[in-house]
């Protein structure tokens, strides 16, 4: 009964609530809240203190500024009362003690233009009347202050336009005020300049800075204890003042070139004289260490002139100044007086050039325009400048003469100075150097002298190796600056070509560069082996008696660019770029004629070809096996650029050799032929996979890009047969990617089934009288699907299907017939070279004709569609390895290979135009007498249309002049080869590139591409090769009497008859590209048993036929072109076999009699 009730349990969150209460203070805040509140209060108090302090500071500053303004106003008022109406010059004491101190304290800007002008005029009068000794002894420091005041006034005067900005209409009174202001500014500028010159002369130039003057009559030299410190202070003061003089002088020059004012030009000339006077400073006291003063101050003074005058932004000295103004920089012992007739001290000129090189190596000199410095330096050294406005350029002949007169060391220093000034700058720095609209251009491209051939001829003189190397380095860097890694704009290419044009067309420079390269890399200058030696060498190579082909492999470049020292890379690179550019311009006659100033001897051409070929081939082979671990050398960047330059030269040389042979047999194959890695590394399958982009081959080879680089730059180093294997491997990889089978009748068709089990992508019927229309309708919509198998059935005139199984023969017949219809001249779609125009133009083209699309064929959609179909058929034939008889013109083949065209490619288009252009180029009189203009006229639908060779640049009134002959000829060739044919060529390429990747075609040259399409179109059938790879059927064998008689018969045929027999059996008159072993199906002779009329058979019957007592077999041989089978009756007599074969191959029967 007395027990208590149990207590209630605490709430579940009791511990949490108790912990919160423990953290609260007396006011109910937590510790964190309390700390935040205290911090906010402290911040508020600090801000309040700062606001009060700021207000007090502003009040003090305002009061101080007001007080100073009142003091200045009072000071100027007293100055006006005393000197406002002064007309007489004060005494030196009044000048320095009374007149100038108030103006020094307020400054030229606050003193106002009127007071400044009056003070300058009064000071000029006093200085002019005061003896020099008085100023030097009594007022040296105050004279320097007066000079600084004059510089301040001059700088303020130049900073604004002369006469102010007037952008609105004004009345007569305002015009008078503006004219008065303009006159006041002119007077101020003239007075300040004359005062500076007078005080400078009175103080013996800058020598006064190196004396400490007491403000009395006593002058004492510095003691030895304070000598060093005082000397440094004096040099600093003198250099600072000299720098200000140079800055104002540059401002005056810019103002003069904008305003065309004679008054400003005179002032600029005066200040330039003052500035250059410091560059030849001579101290007269040995106690001041004259040598140290001269070396230190003169060096800084020269640097100031170089940086602040020559390198000032937008400063073109030739517009205002004369070279005589700067004669003290280069005159012997500083004795130049501006007359221009003093002797030149080349050591002084080289010292001045050295100042520029010092500027280029440091960034401590502030804003500096290397482009302006380079142009002004060229003007000073050679007296040449680019034409500007109405100011024509000086004579190039005189400029080159001045360059030639310079010593070798000076020329070398001059070129090295330009190179150091225009060297690569940090990213984003180029645009600020010049206001040129072409801000993306490199600094080298903004120096017009570098684009002149006379400049290169003057600096790269014969016998001066140092200057030649310096010139090569200059242009090598200049051309590299205009390149980008991925894309190069058309403007950059144009600038680069102009730079290379100067280097390439300077007479004899390219050849001297080659001689220098050969001497520095120890390469043969010339390979002058005679023909008999070459034949013996080739014979020894074929017999295997030579372990290595050393005749056409250059040992100096056997390891690629790794064989070349880093110091020699610019010389090799500049030579390669210049010679490659030269080869783009000179024609074949000039190239092969050793008597021109731009050509090489025959032996030198071979040596250059061997050097470039060995270097590029071995370098690209090295890239195949090079791994990324050894590809991090910084020098590799320059080496890769050099290899690319040599590759461009090599491509130009190979192109020349394709058009007109100059290289002996084996030269292009030599570097890779004996290379041990070529057989194990560069296999056709691996090369094809790399070019196709197979990732597994890249991983296997270590560097898949090496394959592509090798095949891009030097495919000629591989035999033609090897490249055909690579091409076929590329096709096989493409088929595997698309999942399609080989075409029946193609070289890749399965031999067992002849492609019959491959599902066709298209099956269609072709009427014999409508071949082109049916082919266009069926094949053009397929596009790239045409890579698969197509099945065709021919329909005869009766509307019935012809008796033929499409095991390849029908497909070949379709290709031949369709192409024959397309290229028929009567359709107007295709043309042939004018050199072949003597043949009948109304008949289909012969097998030896070179064809190209007519220029007008691409102007309408129907013709463009037919050209696209032609491209697809050509591509399909290439894709399947089917030969035909239509060879493309060399210039058009080069366009398909995406190679640049030149004037020498014009004969394969129109030989008449080419001969006319050559005659104009060789015309010795005034070309204006020929009345040539910059337009080409042609008749279009009965109307004459004039097309401009230079759209937007030339008009009908512009006549071709003698110095424009080369440009006109190349522009004309470009119009006919490229511009006029754009639509037609693009239509054909659209169809071709749907089937064939354009990179695959670049494995071959223009002539090799024709051979790949048509085989050896003009070659003979190799009977021995045909014997070795011939198959037999129906009872025939190699030793059968009829077979032996057949080979004897074929051997007695003419070349045309053998080609006709081959076409009769295989549908192609050209032998297979790689020989008859690659003919699929193989050439087969099948026995057709025929009884001889009136013969009992057996040996006796055969004897009767042989002796002519009984007639021979009368059946004609037939063929199955689908299977390349010749169905040959068992003839008994040779004359009968010959007659029957001739009848059969020229009968022209179709499949009906097969």
**Whole-number Cα distances in Å, 90 to 79, 100, 119, 128, 130:** 13, 11, 10, 12, 11
Pairwise CA distance, residues 446 & 421, whole Å: 12
Place of tokens 């510089």: 151
Exposure class string for 58-73: b at 16+ Cβ within 10 A, else e: eeeeeeeeeeeeeebe
Strand order in the sheet with 850-853: 830-832, 850-853, 887-888
Catalytic residue, chosen from 267, 479, 1049, 1122, is 1122
CB distance 1132 to 1105 below 8 Å: yes
What 3 state SS string does 302-335 have? HHHHHHHHHCCCCCCHHHCCCHHHHHHHHEHHHC
- Checking DSSP bridges between strand 850-853 and strand 830-832, what pairing results, if any? antiparallel
Pairwise CA distance, residues 342 & 551, whole Å: 58
Residues 6+ away with beta carbon under 8 Å from 239 = 297, 300, 301, 304
Is the peptide bond between 765 and the residue preceding it cis, with omega within 30 degrees of 0? no
Q: 383 — alpha (psi -120 to 50), left (phi > 0) or beta?
A: left
Pairwise CA distance, residues 369 & 446, whole Å: 11
Residue 345 annotated as catalytic: no
CB distance 383 to 323 below 8 Å: yes
Q: 1097 — alpha (psi -120 to 50), left (phi > 0) or beta?
A: left
Residues 6+ away with beta carbon under 8 Å from 962 = 926, 927, 928
Of 1028, 1027, 1060, nearest in space to 1046 by CA: 1027
Pairwise CA distance, residues 960 & 863, whole Å: 36
Burial zone of 682 (CB within 10 Å; 0-12 exposed, 13-18 middle, 19+ buried): buried
CB distance 372 to 310 below 8 Å: yes
Of 337, 497, 360, 476, nearest in space to 417 by CA: 360
Bridge partners (DSSP) of residue 322 are none
Pairwise CA distance, residues 293 & 232, whole Å: 9
**Whole-number Cα distances in Å, 687 to 701, 706, 748, 812, 822:** 10, 9, 19, 30, 36
Pairwise CA distance, residues 1035 & 1028, whole Å: 18
Which tokens belong to 391?
A: 């100011």
- Checking DSSP bridges between strand 850-853 and strand 887-888, what pairing results, if any? parallel
Instruction: Classify 359 as helix, strand or coil.
Output: helix
DSSP state, 954?
A: -
CB distance 475 to 504 below 8 Å: no
> Rounded to 5 degrees, what are φ and ψ at 717?
-75, -15
Instruction: Classify 426 as helix, strand or coil.
Output: coil
Bridge partners (DSSP) of residue 1126 are 1085, 1119
- Checking DSSP bridges between strand 830-832 and strand 790-795, what pairing results, if any? unpaired
Pairwise CA distance, residues 110 & 75, whole Å: 12
Angle value at C-alpha 374, between 371 and 376, nearest 5 degrees: 105
Burial zone of 826 (CB within 10 Å; 0-12 exposed, 13-18 middle, 19+ buried): exposed
Q: Could you list the active site residues?
A: 1122
């Amino acid at each position: 009964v007395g027990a208590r009730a149990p207590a209630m349990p605490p709430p579940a969150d009791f511990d949490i609530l108790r912990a919160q209460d423990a953290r609260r203070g007396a006011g109910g805040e937590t510790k964190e809240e309390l700390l935040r509140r205290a911090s906010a209060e402290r911040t508020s108090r600090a801000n309040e203190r700062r606001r009060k302090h700021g207000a007090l500071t502003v009040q003090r500053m305002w009061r101080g500024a007001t007080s100073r303004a009142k003091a200045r106003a009072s000071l100027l008022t007293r100055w006006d009362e005393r000197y406002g109406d002064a007309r007489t010059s004060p005494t030196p004491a009044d000048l320095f003690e009374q007149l100038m101190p108030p103006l020094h304290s307020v400054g030229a800007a606050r003193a106002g233009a009127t007071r400044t002008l009056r003070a300058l005029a009064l000071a000029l009068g006093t200085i002019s009347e005061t003896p020099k000794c008085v100023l030097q002894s009594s007022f040296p420091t105050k004279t320097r202050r007066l000079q600084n005041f004059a510089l301040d006034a001059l700088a303020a005067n130049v900073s604004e336009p002369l006469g102010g900005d007037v952008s609105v209409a004004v009345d007569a009174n305002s015009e008078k005020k503006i004219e008065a202001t303009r006159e006041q500014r002119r007077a101020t500028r003239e007075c300040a300049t004359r005062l500076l010159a007078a005080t400078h002369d009175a103080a013996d130039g800058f020598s006064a800075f190196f004396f400490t003057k007491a403000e009395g009559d006593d002058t004492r030299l510095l003691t030895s204890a304070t000598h060093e410190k005082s000397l440094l202070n004096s040099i600093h003061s003198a250099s600072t003042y000299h720098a200000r003089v140079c800055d104002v002088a540059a401002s005056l020059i810019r103002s003069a070139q904008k305003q065309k004012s004679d008054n400003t030009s005179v002032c600029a000339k005066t200040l330039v004289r003052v500035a250059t006077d410091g560059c030849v400073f001579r101290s007269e006291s040995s106690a001041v260490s004259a040598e140290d003063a001269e070396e230190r101050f003169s060096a800084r003074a020269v640097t100031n002139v170089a940086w602040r005058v020559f390198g000032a932004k937008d400063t073109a000295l030739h517009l205002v100044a004369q070279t005589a103004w700067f004669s003290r920089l280069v005159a012997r012992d500083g004795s130049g007086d501006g007359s221009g007739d003093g002797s030149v001290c080349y050591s002084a000129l080289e010292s001045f050039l050295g100042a520029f090189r010092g500027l280029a190596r440091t960034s401590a000199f502030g804003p500096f325009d290397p482009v302006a410095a380079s142009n002004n330096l060229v003007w000073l050294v050679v007296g040449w400048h680019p034409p500007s406005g109405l100011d024509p350029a000086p004579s190039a002949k005189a400029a080159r003469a001045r360059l030639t007169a310079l010593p070798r060391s000076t020329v070398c220093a001059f070129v090295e100075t330009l190179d150091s000034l225009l060297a690569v700058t940090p990213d984003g720095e180029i645009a600020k150097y010049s206001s040129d609209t072409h801000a993306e251009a490199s600094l080298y491209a903004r120096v017009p002298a570098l684009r002149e051939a006379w400049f290169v001829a003057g600096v790269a003189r014969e016998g001066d190796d140092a200057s030649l190397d310096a010139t090569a380095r200059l242009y090598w860097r200049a051309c590299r600056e205009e390149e980008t890694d991925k894309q190069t704009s058309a403007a950059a290419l144009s600038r680069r070509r102009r730079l290379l044009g100067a280097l390439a067309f300077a007479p004899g420079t390219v050849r001297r560069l080659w001689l220098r390269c050969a001497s520095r890399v120890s390469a043969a200058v010339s390979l002058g082996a005679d023909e008999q030696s070459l034949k013996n060498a080739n014979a020894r190579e074929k017999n295997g008696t030579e372990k290595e082909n050393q005749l056409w492999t250059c040992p100096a470049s056997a390891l690629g660019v790794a064989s070349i020292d880093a110091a020699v890379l610019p010389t090799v690179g500049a030579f390669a770029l210049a010679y490659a550019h030269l080869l783009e311009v000179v024609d074949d006659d000039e190239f092969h004629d050793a008597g021109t100033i731009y050509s090489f001897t025959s032996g030198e051409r071979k040596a250059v070809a061997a050097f470039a070929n060995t270097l590029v081939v071995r370098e690209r082979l090295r890239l195949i096996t090079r791994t990324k671990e050894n590809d991090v050398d910084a020098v590799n960047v320059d080496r890769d650029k050099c290899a690319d330059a040599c590759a461009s030269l090599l491509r130009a040389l190979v192109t020349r050799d394709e058009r007109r042979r100059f290289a002996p047999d084996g030269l292009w194959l030599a570097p890779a032929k004996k290379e041990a890695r070529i057989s194990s590394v560069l296999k056709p399958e691996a090369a094809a996979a790399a070019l196709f982009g197979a990732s597994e081959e890249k991983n296997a080879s270590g560097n898949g890009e090496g394959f592509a680089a090798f095949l891009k730059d030097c495919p000629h180093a591989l035999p033609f047969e090897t490249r055909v294997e690579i091409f076929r491997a590329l096709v096989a990889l493409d088929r595997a990617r698309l999942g399609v089978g080989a075409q029946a009748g193609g070289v890749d068709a399965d031999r067992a089934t002849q492609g019959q089990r491959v599902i066709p992508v298209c099956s269609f019927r072709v009427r014999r009288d409508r071949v082109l229309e049916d082919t266009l309708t069926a094949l053009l919509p397929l596009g790239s699907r045409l890579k698969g198998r197509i099945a065709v059935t021919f329909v005869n005139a009766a509307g019935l299907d012809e008796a033929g199984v499409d095991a390849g023969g029908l497909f070949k017949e379709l290709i031949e017939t369709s192409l024959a219809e397309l290229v028929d001249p009567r359709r107007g779609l295709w043309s042939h070279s004018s050199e072949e125009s003597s043949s009948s133009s109304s008949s289909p083209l012969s097998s030896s004709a070179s064809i190209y699309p007519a220029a007008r064929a691409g102007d309408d959609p129907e013709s463009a569609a037919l050209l696209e179909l032609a491209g697809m058929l050509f591509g399909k034939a290439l894709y399947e390895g089917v030969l035909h008889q239509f060879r493309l013109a060399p210039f058009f083949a080069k366009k398909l290979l995406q190679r640049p065209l030149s004037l020498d490619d014009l004969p394969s288009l129109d030989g008449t135009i080419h001969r006319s252009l050559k005659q104009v180029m060789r015309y010795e009189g005034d070309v204006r007498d020929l009345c040539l203009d910059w337009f080409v006229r042609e008749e279009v639908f009965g109307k004459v249309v004039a097309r401009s060779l230079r759209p937007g640049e030339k008009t009908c009134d512009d006549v071709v002049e003698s110095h424009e002959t080369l440009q006109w000829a190349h522009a004309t060739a470009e119009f006919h080869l490229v511009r006029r044919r754009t639509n037609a060529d693009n239509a054909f390429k659209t169809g071709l590139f749907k089937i064939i990747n354009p990179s695959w075609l670049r494995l071959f040259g223009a002539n090799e591409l024709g051979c790949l399409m048509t085989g050896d179109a003009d070659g003979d059938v190799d009977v021995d090769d045909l014997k070795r790879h011939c198959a037999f059927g129906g009872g025939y064998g190699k030793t059968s009497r009829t077979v032996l008689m057949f080979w004897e018969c074929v051997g007695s045929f003419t070349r045309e008859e053998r080609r006709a027999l081959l076409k009769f059996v295989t549908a192609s008159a050209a032998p297979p590209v790689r020989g008859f072993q690659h003919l699929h199906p193989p050439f087969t002779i099948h026995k057709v048993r025929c009884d001889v009329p009136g013969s009992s058979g057996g040996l006796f019957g055969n004897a009767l036929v042989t002796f002519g007592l009984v007639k021979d077999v009368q059946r004609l041989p037939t063929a199955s072109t689908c299977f390349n089978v010749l169905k040959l009756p068992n003839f008994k007599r040779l004359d009968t076999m010959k007659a029957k074969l001739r009848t059969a191959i020229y009968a022209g029967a179709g499949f009906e009699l097969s």
